Structure 1
Amino acid sequence: MAVAGPAAAGDVVDARGRAVSVADTSRIVSIGGSVTEILFALGLGDRVIAVDQTSRYPAAARNLPGVGYARTLAPEGVLSVGPSLILAIEGAGPRSTLDVLEHASVPVVIIPDAHDADGVVRKIEAVAAAVGEPQKGRALADAVRADFASLGAAVAALKDRPRVVFVLSIGNGTAVVGGADTSADAMLRLAGLANAMSAIKGYKPAVDEAAMAADPDAVVVMRGGGQVLDAETVLALPAFAGTPAARDKRFVSLPGSYLLGFGPRAPQAARELADALHGTKLPALPPRPWASEPDE
């Protein structure tokens, strides 16, 4: 006799406007680092049976079976672990894989993605609805909303707006930087920083002249993404060698899932980035159990 899962969400509408019937949430495959963080923050980590490569936090997630990278999934790998529910962040794919998964017998719920405070709250609410835990979702969303509000008030009181370049990677001596409409740009703005590369859109290589003309006060990178970007290497690039960032050796490296994941820890990440580059300590945010574990 089949045993029902710990919660049945019923019919939920996902980010693609699809009505998805969820009957069993006992075996969840989580695709997307922020989705995984939310599940664990809701206290539902014991239901997660497999994750994608971007799910790096908390440490318990890294010990789970993997199903590949969020944007290059194979349906066989996802279905092989026997999920009762698949939660996938918007943008996961490829579309052909999602089509196969959506026509399988396992419900697939696409979680909306956005890089602002409201977007993080909506993401939390969507995950909670999909797993049939709206009350836990409201509690988590309210706490994260309060953290964003406290951060926003503190950042608004800052007088300076340092000009910053986010470097995603380096190839052939050229830095790939985050321009407008990127998660990096959104995080810089949350931290009260000006994106010195906002004239470009997306993540693109920056020619040396453009980067030098941007005259950044600091460079920010993420760690844990496979490529090691250290201050000595980045600041020595011709694009940055003559800038205030290189002169003052202002360089910040934070874990990628923390800095650009836009999960429940986004307010903490923005505050840490602001502290590092504004030269002043912002008021502390309340201790949160979902943000208490050291990141890798």
Structure 2
Amino acid sequence: MLALALLTAACGGNSPSSSSSGSESGAGASAASAGERAAVAEERLATNTLVPLEGEAPAPRLPVTVDSSDGRRVTVKDTSRILPLNGGVAEIVFTLGLGNRVVGRDITATFEEAKKLPQVTRAHDVSAESVLSLKPTVVLADTDTGPKEAIDQIREAGVPVVVLDPATEPADVSTRTTRIAEALGVPSAGKALNARIDRELAAARAAVPRGSEPKVAFLYMRGSAAVYLMGGRGSGADSLIAAAGAVDAGVEAGLDKPFTPLTSEALVSARPDVILMMDKGLESVGGVDGLVGIPGIRETPAGMNRRVVTLEDGVLLSFGPRTPLVIDILVDRIHRG
């Protein structure tokens, strides 16, 4: 509770401390303020739980007809059994106060409230049979959800499927929240959640120290499968790095695809000051010691100084209500020096 109180105070409001935060933003936030925010964010993420909107759970007003990103118009008449097929989408549904209506999850929904729900994906592929066995009254997917045949089978069984655009930057969280809230018949709750997230994002960005602009390379690795990729434009990490006041080394090096196979030459040329990874990715290559043994890593400033920042796989690129916490942590760790 103390962590939540501190974070709420840091994120804005009408208190004198929030006014101070606003003036601090103009002059450049201190390292201490970034460190304090990061400590609170780390404590929050360590619980791996969500913070729903205050007050009673919203009562859906149905039916509603909404646009789906697959070009269809979808009518939702019943939200008693919701099935989100994306971790970030699931976070939004729970934070809106509708978690008690969720009947299943996909592999990327790793937060505590979802862990006991049945998983309906094999790896990242949706099992139509598993979905239909849960008798959902509405399914929320995105355009990356597949295989297409499974989504078609769910729809053909008479289940409304609302498809959303993928989220690859903090601004997408607001759009997603609005669309999800509208599809579930709780638009006012969506507006309230967006207002909260906007305040938290603004406060996180305000803590970026002025005059510091390190280069950060996002590396996606799965050592056991020999997958070594470097993030570029559209990876999702590029927008988080920018929000944290840093430069994406892959984007600056001209990588126009979200992910490009890693070469030692490209990495040495990019010269990142910091390497950003997911926890399991770093673990898969043997930790920092194993990482710096990969050709090209040791020759970068990040490798030489062993400056590696990691975050939990299910949080870093989830683009949901916990994204401001991710930025709080990145601001502190990236600029720490």
TM-score clears 0.5 = yes
Letter in 2 for 1:202: P
Partner Cα separation in structure 2 for residue 24 and residue 61 of structure 1: 21
Residue 18, structure 1, aligned to residue 72, structure 2: yes
The number of residues matched between the two structures is: 274
Could you tell which deviates more after superposition, 44-53 or 96-105? Answer: 96-105
Residue 273, structure 1, aligned to residue 330, structure 2: yes
Alpha-carbon shift at residue 178 of structure 1 (Å): 0.9
Letter in 2 for 1:165: A
Alpha-carbon shift at residue 17 of structure 1 (Å): 3.4
TM-score by length of 1: 0.86
Aligned pairs for 1:1-296 (under 5 A) are 8-57=62-111, 59-69=112-122, 71-155=124-208, 158-171=210-223, 175-198=228-251, 199-200=254-255, 201-224=257-280, 228-229=284-285, 230-279=287-336
Partner Cα separation in structure 2 for residue 115 and residue 8 of structure 1: 30
Partner Cα separation in structure 2 for residue 137 and residue 117 of structure 1: 16
Partner Cα separation in structure 1 for residue 109 and residue 230 of structure 2: 23
Select the structure with the greater relative contact order (CA < 8 A; seq sep ≥ 6): 2
Post-superposition Cα deviations, 1:166-195, rounded to whole Å, max 9, x if no partner, equal 111145867311111111212111111211
Partner Cα separation in structure 2 for residue 134 and residue 174 of structure 1: 41
Letter in 2 for 1:41: T
Partner Cα separation in structure 1 for residue 76 and residue 97 of structure 2: 19
Structure 1 pair 235–196 and aligned structure 2 pair: CA distance change class (3 A): same
Runs ≥4 in structure 1, deviation > 6 angstroms? Answer: none
Over the matched positions of the two proteins, sequence identity in percent amounts to 34
Structure 1 pair 242–225 and aligned structure 2 pair: CA distance change class (3 A): closer
Partner Cα separation in structure 1 for residue 86 and residue 321 of structure 2: 13
Contact 1:170 1:176 in 2 (8 A): no
Structure holding more helix per residue: 2
Contact 1:50 1:67 in 2 (8 A): yes
TM-score by length of 2: 0.76
Q: Which residue of 1 aligns with 2:22?
A: none
RMSD (Å), alpha carbons: 2.2
Could you tell which deviates more after superposition, 180-189 or 46-55? Answer: 180-189
Partner Cα separation in structure 2 for residue 254 and residue 139 of structure 1: 27
